Structures are given as structure tokens and as C-alpha cells.
Amino acid sequence: MDSPYPSSWYLAGEFVISAGSVLFRRSPEDPEKLQICLIYQRAKKEWLLPKGRKDCGESVELTAIRETYEETGYPCELLPCLMPTRAPEVGVNVKDAYRETRCTEPITISVRNQGDKGAKMTWWYISIIKGDGKKVEGTQMGSENFESEFIDADEALSRLTFKGDQAVAAQALAIVRKTLALDAAAASSSR
């Protein structure tokens, strides 16, 4: 018997798993403003979000952080944000349901059908600068040729070349702004 829900199946060798993140920091000039780090692919003249393929044995979360660091040069970590999820709490067996919680789950997954090459699945996360925020040179792989730049968040959305990247960044920005607003409200009420 077939499932009543439409499904696509890809066997090993017919898909690639990748991950990336929308990397945020507060503007050094105005800490009230957020910036997003974009990468510029020189050869194709494209503005992109950092992402790349998962290595064997690597978690998807680690892939997102590693690829973001490699392509931008900025050490980063996943940012716990208040976001919608259907993932249950650790060790809790509950009915599948939508809820909002502070977590570091993916904010979206894109699946690209690549014809004879199968499918490319990309898990997208929200990350933030880690440590002193200094850029490290020489982190890109030999085949990569990116420039990375932090840009005002609203401007970054329009600068991205592809609509898919624009949608991912817009969703991340909305989640981060909502989380920061709630954190600010909680901090002011506790004073």
C-alpha cells in the first residue's frame, strides 16, 4: 500500500546534503542595527549566503557552521532564537504539532531537483559572530573565490542575487528581530 501523502525518494548517490546559515552581527557603528554577512562570487558576480556540502560523518548543524566560517572567514555559532518548529523537546514523546520555542533548529530546508544529478537538499540555520568577531584570512577551499562583507540587514535582502536566498534571509531576519524584541522587553520588565 502506498502512503496517502505525495513523496519523493532518492537513493544514496542520488542526493547531496548541504547546509548554510544567515550570519548576523550588530553594526559596529550602531549596535541597534543588524548586519548580515553575504559572500560575493567574483567569477559569476553573484551575492549569496554561505553554504556547502556536508562531509561524511558530520552533523548538518556542524556543516552549517563550518561552511559559513570557511566561506566568510568569520568564526560563528548557531544563535538560539524563538522560532516555529514541529520538533519535540529532547526525550518528550508528543503528537506532531506546531509550537514556538527558543532553539537552533533549521529555519528552512530547500530541495532542488537537479535532473539526472538527483536532488540537493540544503538545511538553513541562523548564526552569529563568535568571540571577538575578527575575520580570519585563508579559510576558503582552493576552489572557492569569495569576498565576504557585512551589510545592513535590510539592504542585504535586496542585494542577494537569488530569490531563494532572499526568502531565507528575510525569514531569518524576522526571527532574529522578534527574538531580540522579546529579550529586550523581558530585560526591561525585570529592572
**pLDDT at residue 9 in the model:** 83
Q: Which of 2, 26, 13, 19 is nearest to 177 (CA)?
A: 26
**pLDDT at residue 1 in the model:** 80
Q: Is residue 32 part of a domain?
A: yes
Q: How many distinct structural domains can be found in the chain?
A: 1
In DSSP terms, 22 is beta-bridged to 126
> Could you report the per-residue pLDDT of 164-184, keeping only the tens digit for each?
999 999 999 999 999 999 888
**pLDDT at residue 144 in the model:** 76
**pLDDT at residue 190 in the model:** 74
Q: Is the pTM of this model over 0.85?
A: yes
Q: Is residue 6 part of a domain?
A: no
**pLDDT at residue 143 in the model:** 79
CA distance 191 to 183: 13
Structural domain of 126: 17-189
Q: Is residue 56 part of a domain?
A: yes
Alpha-carbon Rg for the chain in angstroms: 18
Q: Is residue 106 part of a domain?
A: yes
Length of the chain: 191
**pLDDT at residue 51 in the model:** 97
**pLDDT at residue 40 in the model:** 96
Q: Is residue 92 part of a domain?
A: yes
Are 50 and 21 spatial neighbours (Cβ–Cβ below 8 Å)?
yes
Q: Which of 147, 99, 178, 57 is nearest to 186 (CA)?
A: 178
Q: Is residue 37 part of a domain?
A: yes
**pLDDT at residue 125 in the model:** 98
CATH number at residue 108: 3.90.79.10
Place of cell 560523518: 57
**pLDDT at residue 8 in the model:** 81
Q: Is residue 35 part of a domain?
A: yes
CA distance 167 to 148: 20
> Could you report the per-residue pLDDT of 91-104, keeping only the tens digit for each?
888 888 888 999 99
**pLDDT at residue 57 in the model:** 97
Q: Within the chain, which residues score under 70 in pLDDT?
A: 191
Q: Is residue 11 part of a domain?
A: no
